[in-house]
Amino acid sequence: MAQEALVTNHEDGGVQLTRRLTLGCELSCTTKQGDTFRGNLVAHDEKENLIVIKEASSAESLPTASDIRNVHIVNLRHVTKLEVTFEPLAPPTSYTKLPRLDTERIRRRLQTNIEAKRREIRSRG
């Protein structure tokens, strides 16, 4: 049995989630333009009120690794109906075992790029 998602009306006409959804849950949403998207929740950005839905390319068969998938970034401010059709007790392990970011490497790379730009500006100036 489908469970209606807990949403509230947003001040600019869309919906806003009032609780966190489990990554990997199956949901269906209809936009103000009449488009309907069905698939698994891959991400949710609470600040921007966005969700990312991954849908299988074929509804008739179970998806395999070789299936092409459509990914939709949906702004909940443009959604009129949001329904959770299945919510797992825990997110799939593929979603919980994401690699850690090497922030020190990112910082060094940023610094290297900044220094390279400064050298380029000095050489032109």
CA diameter of the chain: 68
Residue 16: its H or E element: strand 15-17
Q: How far is CA 32 from CA 17, 37, 72, 103, in A?
A: 17, 12, 15, 40
Strand partners, 73: 52
Q: What topology is assigned to 3-99 in CATH? A: SH3 type barrels. (2.30.30)
pLDDT in single tens digits along all 125 residues of the chain: 444 435 666 666 677 777 777 888 899 999 999 999 999 998 888 888 899 999 865 555 555 555 556 889 999 989 988 888 888 877 666 555 666 778 899 999 999 999 999 999 999 87
What pTM does this model have? 0.58
Residue 26: its H or E element: strand 26-31
Kindly list the domain boundaries of the chain, sorted by start residue.
3-99
- Count Cβ atoms below 10 Å from residue 103 Cβ, excluding itself: 8
